[in-house]
Structure 1
Amino acid sequence: MGSSAVVPIPTPPEAPGKADPVSSRGGTTGEVEGGRPAAPMASWHDGLAAPPRVLISSRPSDVSARGNVLSLRHPRSGDETGYLFIDGQLQEINWFKERYGSWFLGDYVCEDGGLYYCTPVDPIFTFLPTFEAARMSNGKDPGKFRQLDEILYVEGYPGYQQLMNVAGHHMELVCEVKVANMKFFRLDDSKVLSWLCCKVHNLKEVFPKLGKNYAAQLEKEQLKEAVQMIREYLKDEPWLALLCKKLQLDTNEIINDATTKTNEASFCADSSPAPAPPSESKAANSSAKSSKGRPAKKPKVELGSKNIKDMFRRVTRSGSGS
């Protein structure tokens, strides 16, 4: 994916109200004067710079809005990750693909059966590492105030510049701001911590509505679950450590539990083998039973369960999951 490529979402043209043999909107051939056959009509996918892909995203308020696909650093891992910025909202692009599959898009067959799925993400998570590095704090020194365009200049990642209009509004929640001829920002630890605690509280309030299993959890277990989810977008140092200290949780316990869940999810995702062909002995037995007039039983194939959350992967610049 490009760093800031404009991505129009192609849609099939509306069917004309009446059959028009020479309409450029149709997909059939007709006749023109003189009885000569008309050339085949153009399809909606003709002229696209790249093959179309299937992407699911929230519908923008402006149906004519065009989205930008941006390459940004993931706030936790630092890996290059794909985001969709459309209608003033930042969405993380996840990717899922079965071993075999394709899409039928009108009269077009998309050989890439992958599914791209966009989920809204708070931009503050994405900006946090960048603002942390920009203030250049050292020990008790809170660091420097910097202009927004300086902070968002990240070498190799021009996508941050595309978010200039939303960065200032969001980062005022977690920064000290000085106003002269321009605004100057410096990340404030206490504001970041308050914002993170608010995120944890909001998540914890949602858990009881997700089902009986969540509702039956003790409050501390719900708190740990919320922190583990937020950790997916936080570095362990300093933010996770500060958050756990504030909430009186054991940082090592949070990290170990999250690691265990990740390993279990990876095992489940990889434990669905493809059906193997029957062995020669089984085939012979099946043939013998069938010859006696009794139908041979088909061997059962046990399939491992998958966590739907772990079926999606973040999209990297190369287009593969990470």
Structure 2
Amino acid sequence: MTVVGFLIITPIAYSEMAYQKQISFLILQLLFLTLVLASANGNSLKLGFYLKTCPKAEAIVETVTADHISLAPSLAAPLLRMHFHDSEKSGPPNLSLRGFQVIDAAKTALEKACPGVVSCADILALVARDAIYQIKVVPLGRRDGRVSIALESLTLPAPFGNITELKAQFASKGLSVKDLVVLSGGHTVGTSHCSTIAIRLYNFTGKGDTDPSLDPKYVPYLKSKCKPTDTTTLLEMDPGSFRTFDEAYYTNVLKRRGLFQSDAALLADKETSAYVKLQAQSGGSTFFKDFEESMVKMGQIGVLTGSAGEIRKHCALVN
């Protein structure tokens, strides 16, 4: 919905081969995107941005989100994921996204209350906050981009990334190693398709083997749920509490039961491994506070503010 926004490791349903085949074309797209970003206004976001122009904006979004979540609690994870992805919804990693009706409903309500004031980018940030209620503050003031590039979504850190790749991708957006391990905790809610881990289960090195970083006692269970060519079955990313935003994700990672290679990669670095152990052994003593801080930090990367971009009338379309 915006031109940019940082994109975290999240469940996606395309293969590593398909991902790699798109990279060369993506580079051409990113060259154009760089020119767009260079023109972005550098004004900072702030709390209470709409107090004068649309005083009830945050309350309206909160009400709309609550109404939808009460009817479909499973939407919380997809809405959080949507904020992480924050890019053209026709991009390969975004084809399995859902919850757009919540964004559209919030936009409709806001356009009725204060036409042309609240951006879709800010609505997305607020909906993510309200879907995962621990996030108390979200600085606002984003503008919507006039350009949407589907292949921009391929800059998402992939679920098969190793720790070196992941650290480099986060660093390129000004995010720290701590941000990497904290935001990975978003995998405490939601599900992913079997196709995302098929290679990890059945052909990790091309010899019909399984990723050795997986707990061998957990592998039979995963294989019983996911056959090699299964593209429809969903797996819980945080088995037992996949609808609850808690620290259980880190317990699973420490047991070598993280669903993705990118989850297992957190044990391959001194700093990320230490954080995993801290949250797993302390019952998430700092996780909620850390997650709020990293989410706010992520939500301020590369945004358009001031007079740049536009305020879209419909979130799926440029004006």
Tell me which interval the TM-score lies in, with the shorter structure as reference length: under 0.3
Q: Which of structures 1 and 2 has the larger relative contact order (alpha carbons within 8 angstroms, sep 6+)?
A: 2
TM-score, scaled to structure 2: 0.26
Answer 1 or 2: which has greater helix percent. 2
Greater radius of gyration (CA): 1
Answer 1 or 2: which has greater strand percent. 1
